[in-house]
Structure 1
Amino acid sequence: MGRGDLSDAEWERLWPFLPVSNGSCDRWRDHRQVINGILHRVRTGAQWRVLPERFGSWKTVYERHRLWSADGTWERLLQQVQASNDAAGEIDRDVSVDSTIVRAHQHAAGAPHRPTADARLKGGRRARTSGRSAVAEPARPPGGGGAGDEGLGRSRGRCTSKLHLSADSRCRPLSLIVTPGQRADCTQFIAMLERIRVPRPGLGRPRKKPDSLAADEAYSNGPVREYLRRRGIRHTIPETSDSQAARRRKGTRGGRPPGFDEDRYKKRNIVERALNRMKQFRAVATRYDERGYVFLGTATAAAVAIWLRT
């Protein structure tokens, strides 16, 4: 077993949730060997073509990672691992949310532009490829960047992506979303909470509602607070200075200030530590993936490894 490979105990936790068929007559190559190759690349940030020979063909490793990123397999594996921890009573419902900027390497900006259907009909030309085999792209899961931007944008760090994350009290990721770097945090808040889905071991709906939530001033706006009140989620979000000034100008019509628990807010550092733990994986700290859904799969694979090893 090499450094960073799945241990026997981690493999025993993961293998029951792995897909048993690839949807065709071809058989899967050994899952453990391929997953170890994926985790090696996620941990080191190495190019796919230079993967060590002990992981087999680099193309097999890459194609399985791309496929599992596209069809949501990585996300389902994360949810199933979370469910196994929840069944053992190792998950609490105190959630914190935040985001971090991820610098995009120049290799991440080479994805060819795919025109819309209207543009193809108007121009009467076929979509241009980048010299690669014209393989149809599978359906992308939500949260992997919008059409045309691939989760890449312009911010103070130049070409960047933003990784939005919610975490439990043990600094483990619960849900992830990738957007362009200039996207505001509050725009992804509702989508990020809706993506928290911890399946129950038996019958019943997945667990989606946290007991309490902590966030910084970036999430302090009316729609976010209204959403939390509607779902009955206790929250600790500081009020921005301009919101305070606007409320005071209205006098009695401005209403009471929102509640704020200082002790609970001090524990918001768990999401900062979770983001730091995610960035220990070099392929997450720097984005090398061209496609947004592939980078989201890379971050989700890192989250699965964190859950297995915590």
Structure 2
Amino acid sequence: MSAHLFSQGNLDRLLTDLVDPLLDELRERRLADRGFFLRYWDGGPHIRFRVLPSCLEAVAAVRGLIEQRAFAYFAHSPAPEVLSQEEYLHSAREIGAWEGVRPTERMYANNSVHFLPYVPEHHRYGQGATLEVVEEHFSTSSELTLELLRGTTGPEQRELAALCHLLLAWFLSAQDVHELAGRQLAKVSARRVPGAVDAVAASDARFLRRRERLLTLTATMRKVGRAWPHMPDDSSLKRWASSVSGVVDALGADACAPSAESAADLCAHLFANRVGVRIDAEGSLRYLAARAITDPAVLEGA
């Protein structure tokens, strides 16, 4: 089941004050086994909240509870109207062209919930038992995100978390992580969109300013990628590494599944989305990660 929670307000607050307690309530009532979420733009800014009902008989109760809690939240904490239909459509067409997605022409009402079909991306995550492992990872990733958002984390802390999770995903999934990083750098160099050159220059300067810290962080994440089974069970990095490793193993064992390396990379991208890292900021983080991995000092210590 997929509930789209449309809000032009603070999506962090929507996650911590609506989605988080709602997930707890669904589990306590034994109505749902797991759930996960994403931030998205199509149809207006919203949270896509996916829930797996515990059984067919629970479907109506799950939908009813989501509606009830969403209506109450929007009535108590309505988001202001800050986006017009014209502004939405202009932005949606730009983002849609970038992502290769045809956007919804009409923006959904602010402070509303709509149940829209959930269409799994089989071409990215496989099918059957393999897809189930990936969706379990999405649930773990969502839990880690909510734990992060409950704190008073600013943009720097979120970007640091996204960078750590990205590096770990690469180290856990890539057969040749240096080749993967090289491909990331080549992809950035090949961009021809407005502002791409300036963005690379800014990322270069950022890397040089923080080179020592980035190299230390990269070396640490490499060690975590090897030693995570021996870390404490309540470690967020262990939970992430265990979950991503499960995805890599599941796709690697399925001859019909897509690339495990690509899926793990997407898992890191979706974590950045969940914690609210902007797509341009994530691009900069990917560049920093690739520069650090291909740095001669890291290559010598690998």
The structure, 1 or 2, with the larger RCO (C-alpha pairs under 8 Å, 6+ apart) is 1
> Counting helix residues as a fraction of each chain, which structure ranks higher?
2
Larger radius of gyration: 1
> Counting strand residues as a fraction of each chain, which structure ranks higher?
1
TM-score, shorter chain, exceeding 0.5: no
Q: TM-score, normalised by structure 2?
A: 0.24
